[in-house]
Structure 1
Amino acid sequence: MTLSFDEARLRDEMVRTGAGFRALGLAPGTSGNLSVRLEDGWLMTPTNAGLGDLEPERISKLDWDGNLLSGDPPTKESVLHRAFYENRPGTGAVVHLHAPHAVALSCLDGLDTESCIPPITPYFVMRVGRLPLLPYFRPGDPAMGAAVARVAKERASVLLANHGPVVSGPTLSAARAAMEELEETARIALLLHGRPIRVLGEDEIQPLRETFGAVW
């Protein structure tokens, strides 16, 4: 298989990113999946592949009709990724993990479905933005994609109830940074759970919009 320079580079970046998530303890077993956009389709991590064990040549390549062009069969959760590519302009990569603190947060009752983490740090506001909580779906259910599609135009990230986070970004490095920020903020939110919390007010969020382009 002859690859373009960009495709070969992105395959290698996916391998490094997956290994990084594994090293951080955010991708246990064969959980989680990554994807990136290409000019002629998209790359997707294969089904039952651990993110710490990816091989560049086995990463799935799909066209925009969902046909497998090369590599192993893709993850059954590709519907989550496709929903962002098709509904959020500028999406260049998508990351879905079973990161432990974000998953723990997704199991709590009574979360605000508009943003299940409030604006507790400026970095969460800047790098993640509002985090809608979507209902629970069985893994691989096509309805997951439809649920993401309904909010993807307005929101770059979502949290699936009793499942985990899905984050989009213009590049894989940007999506990775946002995912790591989300997981750290979920950890902080759990530490604060049940306590009075001071959140950022509108007068503190507006400068983040003006200075850093935050979307909140």
Structure 2
Amino acid sequence: MSRFLNTLLRLMFIAVLVAGLIAIWEQIRGSDVMSRFRRGDKTTQSIVLKEVKALGKLELVSYTFKDIIEHEHVNTFLPNANAVLIVEGQATGCIDLTKIKPADIQADGDSILVILPKPELCSWKINHDKSRVYDTRFSFLDESQLVSDAYRQAEKQIRQAALTGGILEQTRQNANQVLKPLLEQVSGRGVRLSFQE
């Protein structure tokens, strides 16, 4: 029996020691202690132009979001790894003017009907310059994957928040405010805007 207790105490001591070392490593990694040993950064790159594309999307509204994201990798044996990020992101609503066909512009006397393509969410992204990793825990095996997954989830949340926040309807309203006066000035006629369904 004493042999069993002795083995159990040794295992508990090793577990406490490993947990303590992990906690110390997390504290050192989170502080500026390691940066004192770095002499600087060096980056080498070779940029090659891959593609040139003509664009015709008229950006009409931009939403900026700020969020706190907590992402967790659920592990079987080890403690769950988690990351907390403070994220700023942006979503842009636009209309693709390249989709307008001649049949979409109809003149009737002294007025013009322009049928515009339906508004779309043309981009959503994280602004990495204004976002940061606030904290990570128990991520010593795959911290880069954990943070990458957290940013990916944050980007999905920005897209969803923009859609539920009414960015497409705001794009419609802004199209009326921006395009209608411009087209009336150019054509000298009254202009009515409609959107494809």
Q: TM-score, normalised by structure 1?
A: 0.20
Who wins on radius of gyration, i.e. which is larger? 2
The structure with the largest strand share of the pair is 2
